[in-house]
Amino acid sequence: MKFALHVIHFTLVSRRLWILRVRLINSVSALVANHSFLLTMCDLLKKALNFSAFFCVCISLNVSANECSPQQINESVRVSTVYDGDTVRLEDGRKVRLIGIDTPEIFSKKRHIPSEIKASGQRARRALQQQLNKADMRVGLDYGQQQFDRYGRTLAHVFTSEGINLQAYLIRQGHAIAFTTPPNDRLSDCYMQQEVLARKAKREIWQLEQYQLLQISQLDKAKQGFQRLQGKVTQLKKTSKHITLVIGGILSVRIYKKDWPNFSLHQLNTLQGKRIRVRGWLHKKKQRYQMNLRHSDALTEDLTTN
């Protein structure tokens, strides 16, 4: 029993040191502009944290992926396998789905994946593998408010000991989109900011046709799967179960009652006649299209013509 208590105490100390290290490294990276001072601070960090359960790697001057910091580190783990750009397997057999992002599919039993999408998904997997290799496959997990998905996978924000948020890294490099699934939206604003940077720079997936913004008049060119669309709301329908925005008379954007708290109902009620942009998974039913939205960052008023 005494030994077990020591193990529990050491584990808790290790988790506290992990998040302390991440926060300290991020602070040093943001505030220090002097190379010699940075080296001094790194040396102090190493001395202060050398009894942590994980090795302490001092942040280099070139590391820039320290945005989107953790709220806490719930667990320190080691990865054994990278399935794709947003799913990994731990040494203990659990699967972890990275919260707040989606990378191109590599394999699907349900539908054909275009070669350019599959190739992009493979690059996303390699990018994640490379970051994990640098971290000796050791990461910290910051659980989502909803900790498991319907497949039993652990849902978490994933961080290296250098303070790198792997989701933010993949998004900013153009390997992933930012996509919020409630209630795990704590870092959604930060992830969306990373996506804006990648889109403007036209990195990776943002060069592909599937990820370009389409006018509703171009919907016949759209493929099922993730799409970004814009058009005028021609009809607004509300029932006790859902709100539906009809765009251009052919796209039904549906928001179910359970997700109303994630939107401003006042804003939704004022959208008829306005141009909006939506993003999500497009489904075709007969001659009509449908897209279900779950979070407000998937819908914005279109205030530009770009």
User: What are the residue numbers of the active site?
Assistant: 97, 105, 153
Residue 291 tokens read as 């897209």
Find, among 83, 109, 106, 112, the residue nearest to 96 by Cα: 83
Beta carbons of 77 and 135 less than 8 angstroms apart: no
Residue in 294, 293, 245 with CA at minimum distance from that of residue 269: 245
Question: What amino acid is encoded at 60 in this protein?
Answer: S
DSSP H helical ranges for 148-279: 166-172, 188-201, 265-269
How far apart (Å, rounded) are the C-alpha atoms in residues 168 and 144? 15
How many C-beta neighbours within 10 Å does residue 245 have?
A: 25
Question: Are the C-beta atoms of residues 75 and 96 closer than 8 Å to each other?
Answer: no
Buried b / exposed e across 263-287, counting CB within 10 Å, b at 16+? beeeebeebeeebbbbbbebeeeee
C-alpha triplet 253, 108, 82: angle, nearest 5°? 105
Contact 17, 56 (CB under 8 A): no
Q: What are φ and ψ of residue 225, in 5° steps?
A: 120, -165
Give residues with Cβ within 8 angstroms of 128, minimum separation 6. Answer: 82, 85, 86, 88, 166, 170, 175
